Structure 1
């Protein structure tokens, strides 16, 4: 067991082991600092977070928002040949049509002037429209979306009164329990206690508790709260 002020880094050192594959975090509140650490952790391991939606804590709300990342997705890839075709239609075809019309107008009877002008005009307009469409289609299309890098994010309503603080390492059969919120104050400011328990049965029950929490999208009456029975003494 670890007790004292600013024990956060010592507690969290365990979740950064190279062979850790999955981390499940239960904390009523997080802070922008810890949200950043959770996102970094999620780049190499599977992370699930269970927390609350507490509108009375702006730092917590800011931390939840910061968990999302803006990612640019390609909807339609760029096609260079369509862009080249569009440029050709915008420049070469109108110039060629006008040059040909000029030559013909100088060498044909006056009665042919109007038909030639109509044909050339239609060719130029059609070429310009086709060129613009071709370039637009060739340029491709992207969109920016919000992406959640965590495996799971479960946010309970504030009325659920979540107060559990727990970190589970499922592949190691380890559960961490204590008083520490995963916030800046919990990690670096407050006097807290924390203990790590290696026990497959307790780990299984802790995961069952998390799965139950994940189903709670409305107020959880105290009379239906699930408990975990630890069937052995913890030294």
Structure 2
């Protein structure tokens, strides 16, 4: 039996690929190694055909409901809301979890930012759309409430230049951000600007390389994610909540 296995290419060391000219992207990392071990232990009864899935990360789990994928991996947090499509229909299911990790802020060594409480409107934080890292950042900074609704007055810049302003959470046009399916009107968000002086501006990126470059160049002062970097003039701080 052959299984079509889609693997995310930009989550080192969990699931990634090193670009090679004129060659298929070879899966690397913890999850691809697990899949290779399952194939080896099957004694020839099971094989996996690997299919590379690049950026953006948001929504890659729903590819399981699309041809030709039978399964998808890439450090995807198993959340009930991620099992449903945009119409709220259950279309996928998760297997047994096998990784646990904590979220952190990645900042320059020596930065005055040590906790989320230190972030103000003078700071810029980079993250990815529809991820657990984004959701946790926005919760800890009170940009969204516990249900995911944006704080009233928050400005949302979209990729096409459209600027939206969030309405109160109890209004019909309230905007919601989730680690699964949020408000369709803001799926292409590239910047959030909250109304409070005690909240940072949030910028969105498509890849680790893009975000890390922004951090090193000073476009953002911190990077919110579930990973850490080594060998760089950076430090990680675990969140406090």
* TM-score, L = length of structure 1: 0.22
Counting helix residues as a fraction of each chain, which structure ranks higher?
1
Based on CA coordinates, which of the two structures has the bigger radius of gyration?
1
